[in-house]
């Protein structure tokens, strides 16, 4: 179960880093247009919270299901 959860967390972190790099140009453009730094931070926190809210329980369910054969 720990292995599945660890792999899922590593995958999510990798995806988050790639998404951040993909949005770097957009973020820079928004800052040049005068978007508040606090607003950009709240948007990033909202995205992170949504990822955790969706994938947290899903990760636990998959980990439990993958551990069933080992419990017998």
pTM check: above 0.85: no
Residue 44 has what pLDDT?
86
Can you say how many angstroms the Cα of residue 55 is from the centroid of all Cα atoms in its chain? Answer: 8
The DSSP secondary-structure symbol of 23 reads T
Query: Where residue 72 falls among pLDDT bands split at 50, 70, 90?
Result: low
Please tell me the distance from the alpha carbon of residue 21 to that of residue 27, in angstroms, as a whole number: 10
**Per residue in 32-56, pLDDT tens?**
999 998 999 998 899 889 988 988 8
């Amino acid at each position: 179960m720990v292995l599945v959860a660890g792999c899922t967390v590593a995958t999510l972190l990798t995806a988050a880093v790639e998404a951040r790099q993909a949005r770097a140009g957009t973020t820079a453009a928004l800052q040049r247009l005068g978007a508040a730094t606090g607003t950009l931070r709240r948007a990033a926190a909202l995205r992170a919270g949504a990822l955790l809210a969706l994938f947290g329980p899903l990760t636990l369910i998959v980990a439990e299901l993958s551990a069933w054969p080992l419990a017998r």
